[in-house]
Each structure stands twice: as C-alpha cells, then as structure tokens.
Chains A and B, each alone.
Chain A
Amino acid sequence: MTPSDGKIAALYKKVAIVGADESDEIGIVPDKSTLQLHAEAARNALEDAGIALSEVDGIFSAGSAGWSPTLQLAEYLGIQPRYTDSTSVGGSSFVIDVEHAAAAIHAGLINVALITHGESGASGGRRGGSARPALDVQHPSAQFEMPYHVGGAPTHYAMACMRHMHQYGTTHEQLAEIAVATRKWASLNPKAMMRDPLTIDDVLSSRWIAYPFHLLDCCLVTDAGGAVVIVSAARAKDCKKPPVWVLGSGEATTHQTIMNMPDLTTTPAAVSGPRAFAMAGVRHKDIDVVEVYDSFTYTALVTLEALGFCGPGEGGAFVSGQRTAPGGDFPLNTNGGGLSYTHPGMYGMFLLIEATRQLRGECGERQVPNAKLACVNGTGGTLSSTGTLILGAD
C-alpha cells in the first residue's frame, strides 16, 4: 500500500486515531448539558487511548459549545492548549478536523489532538435557548430562503433528493432499502436507539415529513457526545490499543444556501473522495467497511455515488436487494447510522468512532470480518461540505 501521488501524500500514515468513544449515555439524555457530554466523551476516549488529558495540546470541536466552541471547551476541561480549531461547517466538521489535526501534528505544532462533540439535539430545545447563534436578519438565508420556508434539514435535502429522482429515476423503494438495511445494523448495536426490525413497507407507509421524504427516511434527533484522540505515528506506538492509521483525507466545500448548490444530484464528496483515495493509494474495491453520514436515506445514497462506489444515478440500483445490510457485500453504516443509532444534530464524530471500532475488531455481533480498510465521509450543511477519510489497520 503506497500513496499514488507524492504531492498530496504528505499526510499519508503520519497520524493515527488511538482513542474513540461516546459519552456515558447517548439517546435521550435530558439531564446532562452539552458540555457534560463533551467531557464524558473526552474522558472515555482518552482512557481508551491510555493518554492523560494533560498531554492534550490541540483541541478541535464545532458548533455546540457556544460562540467559540474550543475556547469554551478548553476552559471547561481545564486545559490551555496551544492549538485550537473550531471549524464549523456542519456535521462534517469532525471528519474534517481529523485532516486538520493530522496537518498540525505533522507540522510539529502539537502532539496530541482531542476532537470532541456534545450536543443535546433532543433535549436542548426543551431546556430553552440554542447553542447555535441566531442569524443576522440581513443574512442571505434570512432574506432569500426563510420568507419561503423555515425549517430543519429535511426540507432542503428533500429538494435535492427530488432532483435526483427526477433526473435518474431513483425510487422511494430504493431509498427505503437504506433505512431497512441500516436498521438491521442497529439491531446488532446495543447502543443504538432504534433496534426493532423495519420493512420497506414500514418506511413507505410512514408519514410524510417533506415529500419525497417519509419520516423513516429521516435521521433521529438525539442527545450524544463523542470524542477521538489523534497522535503522531511515534506516539501511537505507546498507546493502549493498536493504531487506526489516517491513510488518506480530503475536504471540500461547494456552497451554503441550497439555491447556490451547483448540482443538486451530487455532493462535495466528488472532490474530497478522490483526493482521499489518491492520498491513501487504495481503490474502492479494497475498502472493507464504509461509514457515511446518513442524515437522510438520500444522503447515504448520493454520497456513495459522489465517492465513486457507483456512477452518478446508479445509487438506487447499488443499494437494492439489501446489499448494504449485515451479510450483504457492501457493509455500510454498521453502527446503525444517524437513521437508527444516534444523531444529535451533527453526526460526523460518530462515523469516526464506528470506523475505529470496526478496524480494531471491537464490534461484536456487528463486526465486519477482517476489516482492514474503512472509508468515512462526513457531510455538513445542506450537502455543503464534506470530509473524506481512508482509515486503515495494520
């Protein structure tokens, strides 16, 4: 396994994920603040790595901890890091943070990067207030989108999905295949919130949220924290568990408002994906397990196309016949995904945790046999930003 392109291979196998875990509880956790979720996850991931908090000199987080997430977090955790990164481009941020952390470690700026997330998507509103800053009234979204509609992510992703259905003939049944397959994975994960079996008919008969999305095309809204610890290759040798190497990474951004999304039938993963694969020097058929953001069934489908696992418009056929379910030949979202495991609002962190566990062989009933290479793709905003990683075990 060697990088194919020297120029973009600078970060190839320079750092490893050595710790990964959730907060003590995930799901509906009304009596814990977002900062508590961050801190629990940080403690658990550091314990998983066998690294003390005092060794953390770089902290990375997005969105949910006030106007400047890493300032708030560093103080709360009681550290004074020499490197902080509050990249906030939606649920992809944590995946993108891995590349940023790798660059900072490789440049010698830091030794131990801690990426954390904590979000009370289910319970935060009930406590009053919001972790996300209010929009300026003259912001483009406030002027040109909100007079026509105010709402959550389903509304805009539904419009993207509709164009895909129109252009390629993608069907509701094909989208439902993903929800059903993902639920099967969730049934094997004790931490998943929704574990009862689901049928295609269940998905198709669930109520409309935003046509073409049924309720069961949409991810959960939960409370959860998660964290990962990233260190240099040298430091990785002394950790508790075998390293999960960052072999390739890519980041891409195309737009903020959906009216400025260049092509609604793809995602920026069409840019970040090839870059990550090229850096890692691996091909699609080499990948053993795939973890992609499934805010909606469509998000997973279009991401597989954008990453190049199938061609544009071929996603519907690709996922048919429960191909992505346990026992299928394309293990996808093996923790049960945002659709059935957990989704506090920004889900990217949990892709990292599951990929790490799969590559360590820690997944029990849902373990993909002999998983050595994983592809992770986080999507943020309105299909606006992506981070792609190729992770590998020794």
Chain B
Amino acid sequence: MSQDGYRKPVPTPSPESKRYWEGCRNHELWLPFCRDCEAFYFYPRDFCPSCFSWDIEWRKGSGRGRIYTYAIQHRAWHPGWQDEVPYVTALVQLDEGPRLYTNIVGVDPDPAQIDCDMPVEVTFEDITEEISLPKFRLVS
C-alpha cells in the first residue's frame, strides 16, 4: 500500500499517540476521551488537558465534522509539496468537538469551492506500511 518516493514528513507515533495512529491504519478515527469531563480532546496525551484527569479512554469517532477554517497554500515551503501547490490546509472541527489540522482533498483549491462551516468527512491516505493520514473531503 505504501507509496514509493513519499517525500513529505511522516509522523512518528509516540507512546501517547500510538492508539490514534493504529486506528488510522485501520481507516478509523479513534480519539482520546476524558471520563471525568465526558468530552473528547486532541491531540492525544495520557491525561485530559481540560481537567488534568488521567482517567481517559479511547473511543471511535464518527469521522465527520465541519471546516472551521482553511487556507490555500500557494508556496511549497518543503520539497514534498513542490508539485502540489496550490493545496488546501484546514482545521476541521469534528462532530465530537476537537479540531484536527488536516488537508481538504478532492476539491479545487479555489475559494469559490470551499468555505468555513462546510460539512466534511474523513478519508485516509496510506503513506507508508504503518501510517495512514486522515484527510477530509466535502460531503456532497
């Protein structure tokens, strides 16, 4: 499944984020959840950043959300994106609450096609044997 010659940064899972990246590998978006707040949070750590409780668990997310905001990147600051500009970076606000930093794919990088608050759903890009990146596409 891995793409030869993948030139962009590949995430290195940490002990705290291992479960998240395992979920992504199975094309599922698993998220850390605080049992005390009864709320999801992101990014993964062993405790809740809202209340500092260490009573947490992992729950499978819906993979759905809305574009909180976006930008169209016209400059490749890194060689990995040299052939892909312009492309779209975004913060997606998941239905579960947390925001993810991501790319919006499958749409022209055109402000006429993209807007804040548009509904999106997750799609996974397999970039190595171990890592699949969650990205998002517009829900038609």
Contacts and interface: CB of A to CB of B under 8 A. Distances in A.
Given A143-B12, A143-B43, A150-B80, A155 B101 contact: no
B89 A149 contact: yes
B74 A207 contact: yes
B90 A159 contact: yes
Contacts of A211: 71-72, 74, 86, 111
B70 A159 contact: yes
A129 interface: no
B43 A149 contact: no
Interface stretch (A41-49, A160-168, A326-334): A160-168
Given A146-B9, A258-B101, A152 B116 contact: no
Contacts of B100: 144, 259
Contact of A142 (B9, B68, B90): B9
A264 B9 contact: no
B26 interface: no
B91 A166 contact: no
B103 interface: yes
Which interface class (under 10, 10 to 19, 20 to 34, 35 or more) fits B?
35 or more
A311 interface: no
Contact of B133 (A140, A148, A150): A148
A109 interface: no
Given A138-B12, A149-B103, A150-B9, A162 B43 contact: no
A160 B89 contact: no
A152 B77 contact: yes
Interface in B57-77: 68-75, 77
A68 interface: no
B11 A210 contact: no
Contacts of A144: 11, 42-43, 100-101
Interface in B25-78: 42-43, 49, 68-75, 77-78
B78 to A, nearest CB: 4
Interface in A155-182: 155, 158-163, 166-167
12 contacts: A137-B12, A142-B12, A143-B11, A144-B43, A147-B127, A148-B133, A149-B73, A159-B90, A163-B68, A257-B101, A259-B98, A259-B101
5 closest Cβ pairs, A-B complex: A151-B77, A158-B71, A211-B72, A163-B69, A138-B14
